[in-house]
Amino acid sequence: MELCRHLFVSFAALLLGFGLLMVHSASVTSWPTEFEQVYLSRHLAFLAFGLSLAMFAATRPPEFWKRFAPWLFIATVGLLILVLVPGIGVRVKGAQRWIRIPGMSAQPSELAKIAVPLMMCWLVDRNRHRLNGWFSGTLPFVLPVLLSVPLVLIEPDLGTAVFLLGGAALVLFAGGWPLRNFLLGIAVAVPAALGALAMKPYQRQRITGFLQSWANFDDAPYQLKQSLVTLGAGGISGIGLGRGWQKLSFLPEANTDFVFAVIGEELGLIGTLSLIALWCGLYLTGLRMLNHLDHQRFAFLAGFTLLTQLAGQAMLNIAVVTAMVPPKGISHPLISAGGSSLVVSLLAIGIVLSLSRETEQFELDAVNGEVPTES
């Protein structure tokens, strides 16, 4: 088991190193200034903060996260409310998602990617006997979603809202929620999603533009066209690290949401497949690390969900960049230029490492005569 942890940490470190290299390369502009150095400095600052949080999280006893889950969720909902308050929340490009802190800004919806799954796992672990009930097995378990997702939608941030719903569904599926409840949830969610799209013309344009990318490339949105052109320019082995042209003001969000396209141009198919291989290694070793846990208890449910969310976000980002799904601003965990996403991703890794030690902690307590009353 210790070997799996070492491999897990090694894969995470390789991804962070890969990200640091590409952030520096993708931040270069057509007019050399201190701009790229500012991006690199910010990324390093967030990286240092995120690593500190990850180390703190990894050294907490597994039981800490079960006790802390409700408080973290309450604090996150409070932040999601604060971000909507005029004068506190910061509006950028029509969206009010950030809280400005001296020297940096924070995005509470990113923290919700940890807080909501932990709260869902806490509820499932404590109320497993109610899962099969019609009313008692539905409302209590979807309450965290009902409290958090509408606040994220108001910002508006449809992508993160859908991501939170997916994470909640993953917890309930792994926890053994009845299939009938999923069917009922889909029956309610699909009309609501269609209604949300009908009220937002720019969201409809994203979908129609995505369809045009495959039907008529010339009519595809500029960002998607530039992304695919950037990927195709690299060929098999790429044109060389730091030598990419598309990042020079042609490809929007080159060092954040579309950094994978820059990797394709500069390092080619070899570079993109290597990055995917690193993510597969991180995910598989993480699953192996958690596999000894009771699959019906809090530690496994939380660790599995956070790990799957992390890898799933990376795959979703790749799908957006390669025009496999409609475009949505979603960063590549551990790779995109630093911010709330980088810090939260590192925190998630630390929590997974902590939760993987649950059985060992229980056995240690047993040896010391301090067996906990609930695992």
Give the residue, 166 or 370, on which the prediction is more confident: 166
Average pLDDT in the 277-302 region?
A: 93
The pLDDT, as a whole number, for residue 356 is: 92
- Asked if the structure places residue 371 within a domain, the reply is no
Q: Are 296 and 361 in contact (CB under 8 A)?
A: no
pTM for the full model? Answer: 0.86
Question: CA-to-CA distance for 244 and 311, rounded, in angstroms?
Answer: 27
Q: How confident is the model at residue 370 (pLDDT cuts 50, 70, 90)?
A: very low
Interval 158-187 mean pLDDT: 82
Question: 374 lies in a domain?
Answer: no
Residue 231 lies in a domain: yes
**What pLDDT band is residue 243 in, cutting at 50, 70 and 90?**
confident
Could you tell me the residue range of the domain that residue 63 belongs to?
A: 2-364
Residues constituting the chain: 375
What is residue 226's predicted lDDT score, i.e. its pLDDT? 85
Domain-located, residue 281:
yes
Residue 214 lies inside a defined structural domain of this protein: yes
The total domain count for the chain is 1
Q: Residue 117: inside a domain, yes or no?
A: yes
Residue 339 forms part of a structural domain = yes
pLDDT at 183: 76
Q: Tell me the per-residue pLDDT of 16-60, one tens digit each, with 9 for 90 and over.
A: 999 988 888 877 654 455 555 667 788 888 999 999 999 999 999
In a domain, 372, yes or no: no
The pLDDT score that the predictor gives to residue 374 is: 41
Q: Which of 187-191, 223-227, 273-277, 312-316 has the lowest mean pLDDT?
A: 187-191
